Amino acid sequence: MTSFYVENFGCRATQADGAAIERQFEERGLVRAAAPARSEIVVLNTCTVTASADQDARAAIRRIRRENPGCQIVVTGCYAQRASEEVASLPGVTCVVGNSHKHRLAEIVVASSGRDERERITSQAGFVSLSSLMPEARSEIFVSDIFAHTELLAAPVFDGAGIGTSNDRTRPNLKVQDGCDNRCSFCVIPHVRGQSRSLPLSQIVSEVNALVSAGYREVVISGINLGRWGRDLATPLRFENMIREILDRTSLEKLRISSVEPMDWSDELIDLMANSPRIAKHAHVPMQSGSDRVLRAMHRKYRPWHYREKLQKIRAAMPTAAVGADVMVGFPGEGETDFEETRLLIEELPFTYLHVFTYSSRPGTPAALMRDQVPVQVARERNCILRELAARKKLSFMQSFVGKTVEAITLNVCDGKSTETLTDNYLKLLLQGQHQPNQWMKSRVEQVADSTLIATLAAA
Ligand code: SF4
């Protein structure tokens, strides 16, 4: 039987796409290999959000070619969609499948062993064949205009073999939305993922029920612009409708909501999260900048005061919730005053963690053409300042739990002596002793050591 291996890069949505690709192969009778070096087909499911994401994909192609020279290397995902010909020209790549054709990836790859079948698929797919453009190249490209596509590739990160058989199988990730209708000036995502589209409600409920039946207790729902879920459906719905349906029509114990844009944090959503013990107290609210001027240049739809108000509402409703954000430094034209406004807003707001990114110019975006690009060294320094600030805030949040009893779900056994666990409010604890994954444990937080919370089992 032909073996395959899927290696994912990037965000949660990409991981979910990777799981859907694995499902496609398994439905066609192929078997998962344990590692790329032991696989006949290796799929690299790439990201292109920054220049370094592209570099990571190229390094992976080189590594796999070195470790397993006989395998077929198939490159898919956002980098494949954005720069298909560049990817196809890399030594070792046998096939490039853009996001436009990712829902048919297994069909394309499996058929590539039979010429007639491949020709049938390619004639339907409207693909561009590199071999016809560059006769010396061996790779083929399956890519077309992403905005012409409305399919949504969706499968939970779901392990049919059972719970806990590999890393973090305890909290499957279910992608319910793809694409984005916003046009933030720095962001390449709409160009590689297309228009916003939603998984129908009935399918979400049945996927969640399948996960519950398989024994999963926590499910993470994700999307590219998750808060816009439902707006494109034949009968438009709101994100909150979906959350209520999951609570009403499944017995899922814990639902975790990944990132939701600031203006989609409605009072109703905040109330739902605050009042349901079945929704993890975890709000991730992308901020990007605290400068009005920079937010406008980024084409973000809110101003710093909107953002402040949302965060304050979230904190008032959920005093111990995890509150996180993505922040970007070094956007073109970001001056010292803009950066200081960002720093002060972060200082003021109740963040418990931050993801700090340095702006990376992406071809085809308006920001790439803006003058006044910030020198790399300045952007790096700003990044360090915000990371230090974030680390301080995170530490003080962690310290506020020392001596308290919390409930956490077990993830993986580490170092043979302790088990990594995760609380409702997104704190990772090292619980002393070995415990089975996917169990709720009452733990007493003993101390913070090396930026890690150490806990022991609480008395029953
Ligand atoms: S909201 Fe903005 S940053 Fe987020 S995916 Fe859409 S365009 Fe990109």
Residue 154 is encoded by which pair of tokens? 């969706």
* CATH of residue 359: 3.30.750.200
Residue 130 has pLDDT above 90, yes or no: no
Q: In whole angstroms, give the CA distance from residue 46 to residue 7.
A: 8
Residue 112: predicted pLDDT:
66
- Residue minimizing CA distance to atom 8 of ligand 1: 187
Residue 114 lies in a domain: yes
> Where is 44: in which H helix or E strand?
strand 41-46
Ligand 1 atom nearest to 288, measured from its CA:
3
What average pLDDT does range 159-179 have in this prediction?
65
Same-domain check for residues 211 and 316: no
The string of DSSP letters for 221-273 reads EEESSGGGTTTTSSS---HHHHHHHHHHH---SEEEE-B--GGG--HHHHHHH
Mean pLDDT of 196-208: 95
CATH number for the domain that contains residue 235: 3.30.750.210
Q: Does residue 181 surpass a pLDDT of 70?
A: yes
The closest residue, in CA terms, to atom 2 on ligand 1 is 184
Which residues touch 215 (CB under 8 Å, ≥6 apart)? 162, 163, 438
Percent of the chain with pLDDT over 90: 78
User: Which range marks the domain in which residue 214 is found?
Assistant: 146-258
Does 436 reside within a domain? yes
Same domain, 431 and 396: no
pLDDT value for 137: 47
Nearest CA-CA partner of 97 in 48, 53, 26, 43: 43
Contact 425, 397 (CB under 8 A): no
The confidence score (pLDDT) of residue 165 equals 37
383, 330 contact by CB (below 8 A):
yes
> Which atom of ligand 1 lies nearest, measured to the CA of 181?
6
Residue carrying the six token digits 């994909």 = 57
Residue 135 has pLDDT above 60, yes or no: no
Q: What local confidence, expressed as pLDDT, does residue 396 receive? A: 96
Tell me: do 7 and 140 sit in the same domain. Answer: yes
In a domain, 280, yes or no: no
Name the pLDDT band for 152 (thresholds 50, 70, 90). Answer: confident
The tens digit of pLDDT for each residue in 78-126 reads 999 999 999 999 999 999 999 999 999 999 998 765 444 444 444 444 4
Q: What is the CATH number of the domain that holds 433?
A: 2.40.50.140
The pLDDT value recorded for residue 358 is 95
Ligand 1 atom at minimal distance to the Cα of residue 180: 6
- The pLDDT of residue 169 is 66
For residue 188, which atom of ligand 1 is closest to its CA? 8
270 belongs to a structural domain: no
Q: Mean per-residue pLDDT for 338-365? A: 96
The CA distances from residue 288 to 12, 119, 196, 299, in Å, are: 19, 46, 21, 11
94 lies in a domain?
yes
CA of 161 to the centre of ligand 1 (A): 35
Instruction: Please give the Cα distance from 413 to 35 (Å, whole number).
Output: 21
Same domain, 386 and 443: no
User: Nearest CA to 290 among 342, 357, 348, 355?
Assistant: 342
| 3-state SS assignment for residue 399 | helix
Q: In angstroms, what is the span from residue 182 Cα to ligand 1's centroid?
A: 6
Backbone angles phi, psi at 187, to 5 degrees: -100, 130
User: Residue 54 is encoded by which pair of tokens?
Assistant: 């592209």
Going by CA atoms, what residue is nearest to atom 1 of ligand 1? Answer: 182
Rounded distance between C-alpha atoms, residue 173 and residue 43, angstroms: 20
Who wins on pLDDT, 162 or 216?
216
- Unique residue bearing structure tokens 């519950």: 212
Condensed to tens digits (0 to 9), the pLDDT of residues 36-54 reads 999 999 999 999 988 899 9
**Model pTM score:** 0.88
Which of 47, 49, 82, 187 to mutate to test ligand 1, by most ligand atoms within 8 A of the CB atom? 187
Name the DSSP class of 279: B
Percent of the chain scoring above 70 in pLDDT: 90
Residue 265 lies in a domain: no
251 and 155 in a single domain? The answer is: yes
Looking at the structure, tell me whether residues 355 and 453 fall in a common domain. no
Three-state SS at 130: helix
- Separation of 446 CA from ligand 1 center, angstroms? 40
* DSSP 8-state class, residue 101: G
Residue 131 belongs to domain with CATH number: 3.40.50.12160
Report CA(341)–ligand 1 centroid distance (Å).
22
Domains in the chain: how many in total? 4
Distance CA 223, CA 241 (A): 16
By most ligand atoms within 8 Å of CB, the mutation choice from 224, 258, 302 for ligand 1 is 224
Which amino acid appears at position 263 of this protein? M
What is the pLDDT confidence band of residue 246, given thresholds at 50, 70 and 90?
very high
- Kindly state whether residues 304 and 196 are assigned to the same domain: no
Q: From ligand 1's centre to the CA of 180, what distance in Å?
A: 6
DSSP strand pairing (93-98 vs 140-142): parallel
| Lowest mean pLDDT, pick from 158-162, 319-323, 361-365 | 158-162
Ligand 1 center from residue 442 Cα (angstroms): 38
Average of per-residue pLDDT across 249-267: 97
Same domain for 136 and 167, yes or no, is no
CA angle 195, 199, 200 (to 5 degrees): 125
Burial class from Cβ neighbours inside 10 Å (0-12, 13-18, 19+) for residue 305 reads exposed
Evaluate the CA torsion angle 193, 27, 437, 213 in order and state its sign: positive
First to last CA, the chain: 50
* Pair 92, 169 in one domain: no
**Are residues 332 and 212 located together in one domain of the fold?**
no
pLDDT of residue 361: 92
CA 213 to ligand 1 centroid distance, Å: 34
Question: Which ligand 1 atom is nearest residue 299's CA?
Answer: 2
More confident residue, 432 or 171: 432
Cα 142 to Cα 45, 58, 109, 188, 353, distances in angstroms: 14, 19, 11, 20, 39
What pLDDT score was predicted for residue 83?
94
pLDDT of 281 reads 98
Residue 38 lies inside a defined structural domain of this protein: yes
Confidence tier at 155 by pLDDT (50, 70, 90): low
Say if 391 falls within a structural domain: yes
- Domain end among 115, 144, 173: 144
Pocket of ligand 1 (CB under 6 A): 180, 182-184, 187, 189-190, 224-225, 261
Give the nearest ligand 1 atom to 190 CA: 7
**CA trace torsion 225, 229, 234, 240 (10° rounding):** -160
- 389 burial level (CB within 10 Å; 0-12, 13-18, 19+): middle
- Mean pLDDT confidence for 374-387: 97
Give alpha helix (H) positions in 331-412.
Answer: 336-348, 376-399
Q: How far is the CA of 185 from the centre of ligand 1 (A)?
A: 9
Mean pLDDT of the chain, nearest integer:
90
Q: What is the pLDDT at residue 140?
A: 87
Ligand 1: which atom is nearest the Cα of residue 224? 5
Same domain, residue pair 121 and 150: no
Q: Is the pLDDT of residue 127 over 50?
A: no
Q: Calculate how far, in angstroms, residue 303's C-alpha sits from the geometric centre of ligand 1.
A: 16
CA of 393 to the centre of ligand 1 (A): 26
Decide which of 385, 400, 415 is a domain's last residue.
Answer: 400
Do residue 15 and residue 139 come from a single domain? yes
> Above 60 in pLDDT, residue 23?
yes
Q: State phi, psi for 378 to the nearest 5 degrees.
A: -65, -45
- DSSP letter at 288 equals B
